[in-house]
Structure formats: structure tokens, C-alpha cells
Amino acid sequence: MLVFALTYYLVMPVAEVTTVHRGTAISAVYGTVRIEPAFVVRVRAQNDGFIRLAEAFSAGRGAIGRSVEKGQLLATIADEETSRELKQARADLQAAIDRAALPLPSSELLKAAEDNLQRLEKVVGSGNVPAVEYQKAKSEANRLRGAVEAERIERDRNLNSLGETMKKLEAQMKNSEVRAPIDGVLTNVQTIDGELVSDGNELFTVSSHKNYVRGEVNEEDVGEVKPGMKAKLQLYAYRMKTFTARVSSVQPAADPTTQRYTVVLEMENPPDNLMVGMTGEMNIITGTHQNALLVPTRALLVDQALVVKHGIVEPRTVAVGFRTLDFTEVTSGLTEGNHVIVADQDKFHSGEAVRQRMVNPPPKPRES
């Protein structure tokens, strides 16, 4: 008889069960998340020419992920014609500056004319020099003063013109230097060394070190989401960790293709190696009930649960309240301490005798 009973026990089906317990029931809006950079700057060419990548970025796309500092040289766009013109403009300007240091051509003649005029002024009153001679000398001095002033104006105009030409060419050469616009990370390279590029071509993308969490929720859920709400995040790169965040804003327009709404979140205590492009899931907490009866959501088949009592399966109809992917609040139909089947419910039927195997439930949800 004992052998028969043992044999019967061993062939009984095994039901995986867990215990109904009390805890904090959470109402949450589910969504997906992606880590995005706070700022993204696309760097474009400012002139035409052949691009030469800076040594630090000569690997091209292999340099993606490298940190850059604002103003750091990324590449130059070779423009030999402008380089030659700038060299000539600098030489012309220096020659003009050197000439400007010399006396004006008419200045010596003016000095001689003024000396002669002073001499005539002293003797014209004695009658030894005709008055007409004095007037001629005075007219000649005035003419030479005008000539010197004209030469000075022309000299200054020429210096200014040469200076402006040089500055313009220097600006063109500066535009040929492609530099990082912000401190950040090089996240894209859209050119190759030696390639001919045109003014306006996109060359690089630089993203800021600072990141944010970009979430997406369905249209039917977005009305429940408000700024300031807490959220629980799970990133696939950190499967064993749960992070907390708060909703910063809800974007007012949906994606025209997916009809999902963007939610911006600020992560609390993010990991040090949080990287752009990481993805995961979130639950935005929209409400809580304390001291509620909780059952794993997977234990429910719509409004039905299977309870094992004294080794016998009993179906129960339950009413539910708040629900998340992990836990559901039960408002009627179960009591604290009930053992509910959490897997393969379709294999069991009412009144069947089963053996129980206790499954440790996941950590109870808590609202901190």
C-alpha cells in the first residue's frame, strides 16, 4: 500500500506555484526607451576642395566614438588657389607697408617749395623780389601740398585694400579648417580622406557627452503621463539593474508613422558608462495602492486563476485593480497566502491532484 501511494505521488503532475502576498500595487504606463545625446551638431564643409582628415581622425569611420574638444581640428579642405593668393596678398601688403615707411614722392619737393616761400616772404617787402614771383611760389607750395595729400590718401587706400584682401583670403583659408563645434563624441564620419567635397556637404556628427532618456508610449496611454511622474527603467545592457527616472516633458506631437508619443525623462544616478544608443523598457508610475493583494501577472488568464489547496486544483474568478507586466492587484477572488499556479495553466483542470513546486516570486514592487 505504501509503495502504491508513493508511486501515485511521484506520477502526479507538478504545478509551479507562488504565494499571494501583500505589497504596493502600481499602475504604470509601459513604454520603450533609448539613450540619446542632449545635443547633436552636424559639421558641414564651408568651401570646395579635397578633404584631408586630421591625424587623430585618419581612421575615418574607425574614429567614431572618440572624444573631441571644442575647436579641435578634424580636417582641412585643401584649396591651393586660395593658398597661393593669400601668399601673394601677404607679400603685396608687406611691400606696401615698407613703401609707406618711406617719404611720399612729392614730400621733398613740398619741403623745398615751403623753404623757398619762407625765403621770399622775408625779402618780398624790400622790393628786391617782384610780388608776382612770391605769388607763384605760394601757388606752387599749395599745389605740392595737395599732391602730397593725394599721395597720402592713395597710399592709405592701397594699404586698406590690400589689408582687406588679405583678411578675406585668411577667412577663406580658415573656412577650410574643419573644427569640432562642441566638446563631445564623434558619432559619425561621412567622408573619406582625399575626397572632393563641396560647400555645404555634411562631413561629421559630434554629439554632446550629456545624455537624456527618450521614451515612447502608445497613443492610448499618453493621456495618463504627466511631468514629474516617477518611472522605473530597465536597460538591456544592465539586465540585473532597475533605474529610476522622472518625466521631464511629454512632446505635444506623435510620430506620424508609429503614432507613438515621445516622453523625455531625467535619469537618477545613471551608470558611469551610460552610452548613446542603449535601449530598454520603462514603466511610468501613474498611481499606487498600499497594502494590496498582489499576484504575478503571469498567474492570471484574463479573470481566472488556478489555486492549489490541499494539493487539489481549484479555479477562481478574480477581480483586478492596478496591473503591470510583473504584478497585478487582486481586489477579490483570492486571499493572502493562497498558492497560485504561474505556469502551464492549460495543463491543469479543476479537481486535479498535483504536487507543488514553489517558485520564488520576483522582488515585490515598491514605491520609493
- For residue 357, count CB atoms less than 10 angstroms from its CB and return exposed for 0-12, middle for 13-18, buried for 19 or more: exposed
% pLDDT > 90, the chain = 51
Q: What domain range is 66 assigned to?
A: 40-77+176-207
pLDDT of residue 280 exceeding 70, the answer is: yes
CA distance 331 to 22: 11
In this structure, of 119-123, 164-168, 194-198, 289-293, the range with the lowest mean pLDDT score is: 119-123
- Mean per-residue pLDDT, 201-225: 93
Place 368 in a pLDDT band, splitting at 50, 70 and 90.
very low
Q: Same structural domain for residues 103 and 187?
A: no
Are 203 and 166 members of one domain? no
Query: Are residue 67 and residue 114 in the same domain, yes or no?
Result: no
Q: Is the pLDDT of residue 254 over 70?
A: yes
| Domain limit, last residue, from 207, 226, 255 | 207
pLDDT at 171 over 60: yes
* Residues 165, 101 share a domain: yes
Q: Is 333 a residue whose pLDDT tops 60?
A: yes
Is the same domain home to 191 and 134?
A: no
Residue 307: what pLDDT? Answer: 96
DSSP 26: E
**pLDDT for the residue 226:** 94
Reported as a pLDDT band with limits 50, 70 and 90, residue 361 is low
Q: Is the pLDDT assigned to residue 6 strictly greater than 80?
A: no
| Predicted local confidence at residue 4, as pLDDT | 47
Rounded mean pLDDT, 182-204? 92
Is residue 233 within 8 A of residue 103, CB to CB? The reply is: no
pLDDT tens sequence across 51-106 = 889 999 988 889 998 999 999 999 988 766 776 777 888 898 898 898 888 888 88
Q: State the pLDDT at residue 35.
A: 94
- Is residue 246's pLDDT more than 90? yes
Whether 73 and 88 share a structural domain: no
What is the pTM (predicted TM-score) of this model?
A: 0.56
Handedness of CA 312, 313, 319, 322 (dihedral sign): positive
State residue 127's pLDDT score: 66
356 falls within a domain: no
Output the CA torsion sign for 96, 99, 105, 106.
positive
Do 112 and 168 lie in one domain? The reply is: yes
**Residue, of 350 and 367, whose pLDDT is higher:** 350
What's the pLDDT score for residue 173?
A: 65
Q: Of 174, 198, 215, which one is at a domain's C-terminal end?
A: 174
Does residue 113 belong to any structural domain of this protein?
yes
147-156, 168-177, 219-228, 266-275: range with lowest mean pLDDT: 168-177
In this structure, the answer to whether residues 60 and 181 fall within a common structural domain is yes
Retrieve residue 215's grid coordinates. Answer: 521614451
- Whether residue 105 lies inside any domain: the answer is yes
Are residues 94 and 135 both part of a single domain?
Answer: yes
Counting the structural domains of the chain, the total is 2
Q: Which of 231, 228, 269 is nearest to 31 (CA)?
A: 231
pLDDT band at 354 (very low <50, low <70, confident <90, very high): very high
State the Cα–Cα distance between residues 194 and 176, nearest whole angstrom. Answer: 14
Own/partner long-range contacts of 237-241 (Cβ < 8 Å, ≥24 apart) = 237/275, 237/278, 237/280, 238/271, 241/271
Together in a domain, 162 and 91: yes
Maximum mean pLDDT: which of 1-5, 134-138, 157-161? 157-161
C-beta of residue 304 within 8 angstroms of C-beta of residue 340: no
Sort 176 into a burial class: Cβ within 10 Å, 0-12 / 13-18 / 19+.
Answer: buried
Q: Which residues of 251-279 are buried (b: 16+ CB within 10 A; e: fewer)?
A: eeebeeeeebbbbbbebeebeeeeebebe
In this structure, of 16-20, 129-133, 253-257, 295-299, the range with the lowest mean pLDDT score is 129-133
Mean pLDDT confidence for 151-156: 90
Within-domain flag for 88: yes
pLDDT at 84: 78
Asked whether the predicted pLDDT for residue 347 surpasses 80, the reply is yes
Q: Is 168 inside a domain boundary? A: yes
In a domain, 360, yes or no: no
Residue where one domain finishes, among candidates 161, 186, 207:
207
**Mean pLDDT of the chain, nearest integer:** 87
Question: How far is 282 from 241, CA to CA, in rounded Å?
Answer: 12
Do 94 and 169 share a domain, yes or no?
Answer: yes
Q: Give the CATH number, domain containing residue 198.
A: 2.40.50.100
What is the DSSP code string of 57-70? Answer: GTTGGGGTT-EE-T
- The answer as to whether 46 is a domain residue is yes
pLDDT for res 1: 52
Give the span between the Cα atoms of 28 and 224, in whole angstroms.
Answer: 9
Q: Is residue 114 located within the same domain as residue 158?
A: yes
Does residue 187 lie within any of the structural domains?
Answer: yes
Q: Are 349 and 8 in contact (CB under 8 A)?
A: no
d(CA 79, CA 200): 16
